[in-house]
């Protein structure tokens, strides 16, 4: 299931402020899921955000790296 906040790169891109708002929403949802110990769903919320950041800002952007590292830690803790 694709999270409701996910935006697509089709036609015009969302404004930076709107993208930031949507990214913050994704962070908030992931934080709530982590508080409930639902690591799998938190990862499911953050993966599309990571893909979007990678596409829009590139793989070397700080935000892309941050999400990438968080996802790695979550996946590692879920595997234990």
Q: Where are the domains of the chain?
A: 37-80
- Is the pLDDT at 79 greater than 70, yes or no? yes
Asked if 25 and 63 count as a contact pair (C-beta separation under 8 A), the reply is no
Please state the rounded mean pLDDT for residues 5-16: 46
Model pLDDT for residues 16-74, shown as the tens digit of each residue:
556 677 677 777 888 888 888 888 888 888 898 888 888 888 899 888 898 898 889 88
34 vs 19: CA distance, rounded Å: 22
69 or 78, which is more confident: 69
Asked if 25 and 5 count as a contact pair (C-beta separation under 8 A), the reply is yes
At residue 80, the pLDDT reads 73
58 vs 51: CA distance, rounded Å: 10
78 vs 33: CA distance, rounded Å: 13
11 or 43, which is more confident: 43
18 vs 78: CA distance, rounded Å: 31
């Amino acid at each position: 299931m694709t999270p409701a906040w996910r935006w697509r790169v089709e036609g015009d891109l969302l404004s930076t402020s709107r993208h930031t708002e949507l990214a913050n929403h994704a962070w908030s949802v992931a934080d709530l899921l982590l508080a409930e110990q639902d690591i799998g769903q938190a990862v499911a919320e953050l993966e599309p955000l990571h893909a979007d950041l990678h596409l829009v800002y590139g793989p070397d952007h700080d935000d892309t790296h941050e999400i990438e590292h968080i996802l790695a830690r979550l996946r590692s803790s879920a595997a234990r």
